[in-house]
Amino acid sequence: MNKRRLASTVFGILLSLAATGSWADRDGDDRRESIEPYAIGLWGDLPYSDVQALVGVPNLIADMNRHELAFTVHDGDLKAGNGTPGSVTPTTCSDALYVQALGFFNDLRAPAMLTPGDNDWTDCDRPSNGGFSSRERLDHERSVFFSTPYSLGKHRLRQEVQTAPLCLGVNGAMPCVENRRWTFGGVTYVTLNVQGSCNNLCDTAPDPAEWAARNQANIAWLRESFRFAAARQSAAVMIIAQANPGWDATDGTRAPLRDPKSLAQTDGGPDGFQAYLIALREEVIAFRRPVAYVHGDSHYHRVDKPLLDNQGRRLENFTRVETFGDNQANGTNDANWLKVTVDPRSREVFAYQAQIVPANRTAVPAP
């Protein structure tokens, strides 16, 4: 092989590695800015039962590991909202729950990211979950999953971390180290600690002080991340959080009802999201390029465009993406994931394909 052909072959291999994320350990900031398409995996609200922890999630992880993924993100809820009496896997907020989850994430071949869910901290004060302090359980999650600037998974990717002491823990102000940002293939990704259960303003032991601090931290990280993406000329932004905050007045069965113009909650419940949603809308409009907002919480997979401006016009560059979640009637079914193909050269950047894990099909077995 002549030198020119050898150089061309080596360059092709290196470009392929960059596009597939195989360099994630070395360069989490991805300053190569590869323009080649790549794929990521999204999942969350799992496991909710013994059968999901023992069968459904292992099947899901094995399925994701069969794909070439740049990274994966779990959008929160490591368990069901209440503990299950007699379960053989952890279903309360005991330390064993987070050990189990850590094992799941580190079984993933690609870098594995996550954001906390209400079932694994804000709801831990319920008697059925062990009656823990919510702040203490969030502090514990921070120590288990977010103690370094790297992702989890067999391959690791470095992330930027919100280091300002803006959140509240058991002992007062502390950094919101779960809020993270990374760039891959010309796209900026952001995680934010935004929770179901009214964002910690309702349920067993509401904590308005914790909410106020974290809400301001989330808004600050959101705005900073959009400034970062604009300065970097990112092709798109993807935000991953847990809560379905509600976007309009159409779906009270799965989220709070909300005036789509003012973004104020209209169903009389505590509103832990309005200021955050207004900030999000402002940033989406200013950014102009595609923005994907990924969440779980309401257990209904969908891809739609529910965000309007204050005149009632749909924001064309905004897409809400809800991952699969537990459907108790189906057992292991809904232990599925979403594959997103990311092409920074394309107009919409993100393309979505549901991945129904064949081994987890219940109502209709795989052919």
282-301: pLDDT as tens digits: 999 999 999 999 999 999 99
Residue 88 pLDDT exceeds 60: yes
SS3 212: helix
Q: What percent of the chain has pLDDT over 70?
A: 91
Nearby residues of 272 by Cβ (< 8 Å), 6 or more positions away: 195, 198, 199, 200, 201, 211, 215, 245
CB atoms within 10 A of CB 358: 11
**Which residue in this structure is represented by tokens 């999201």?**
273
Reported confidence tier of residue 310, pLDDT bands at 50, 70, 90: very high
Give the up-direction half-sphere exposure of residue 271: CA atoms within 13 A in the CB hemisphere.
18
Is-contact 148 142, C-beta < 8 A? no
Burial of 323 (0-12, 13-18, 19+ CB in 10 A): buried
Q: Residue 30's pLDDT band (boundaries 50, 70, 90)?
A: very low
User: Is pLDDT of 142 > 60?
Assistant: yes
pLDDT range class, residue 327, cuts 50, 70, 90? confident
Report the DSSP pairing between strands 72-74 and 112-114: parallel
Instruction: Look at residue 162 and tell me whether its pLDDT is greater than 80.
Output: yes
**Statement: residue 2 has pLDDT above 60:** no
The 10 Å Cβ neighbour count of residue 5 is 9
pLDDT for res 334: 83
Token look-up 């989890």 returns 152
Question: Facing residues of 160 across strands?
Answer: 181
The full length of the chain comes to 367
Confidence at 34, pLDDT banded by 50, 70, 90: low
- Look at residue 251 in the predicted model and tell me its pLDDT: 84
Contact between 159 and 5 under an 8 Å Cβ cutoff? The reply is: no
Please, are residues 110 and 157 in contact by the beta-carbon 8 Å criterion?
A: no
Residue 10 reports pLDDT greater than 50: no
CA 63 – CA 367 distance, rounded (Å): 17
- pLDDT tens digits, 180-233: 999 999 999 999 999 998 999 999 999 999 999 999 999 999 999 999 999 999
- Round the average pLDDT of the chain to a whole number and report it: 91
Instruction: Give the lowest-confidence range in 74-88, 269-283, 322-336.
Output: 322-336
Helix (H) or strand (E) holding 60: helix 57-65
pLDDT for 22 equals: 40
Q: For residues 114 and 277, what is the distance between their CA atoms, to the nearest angstrom? A: 21
What is the residue type of 257? L
Q: Which two tokens stand for residue 306?
A: 């529910």
Q: Which residues contact 240 (CB under 8 A, 6 or more apart)?
A: 42, 73, 75, 113, 115, 189, 190, 191, 192, 294, 295
Average pLDDT over residues 332-360: 95
Label residue 346 exposed, middle or buried (CB < 10 Å: 0-12, 13-18, 19+): middle
What distance in Å separates the CA atoms of residue 317 and residue 329, rounded to the nearest whole number?
36
* pLDDT mean over 128-157: 98
Record the tokens describing residue 21, joined without a space: 């994320």
What is the distance in angstroms between the CA of the first residue and the CA of the last residue of the chain? 47
When pLDDT is averaged across residues 231-252 and rounded to a whole number, the result is: 96
76 contacts 45 by C-beta, under 8 angstroms: yes
Looking at residue 186, what DSSP letter applies? T
Residue at 217: amino acid letter: A
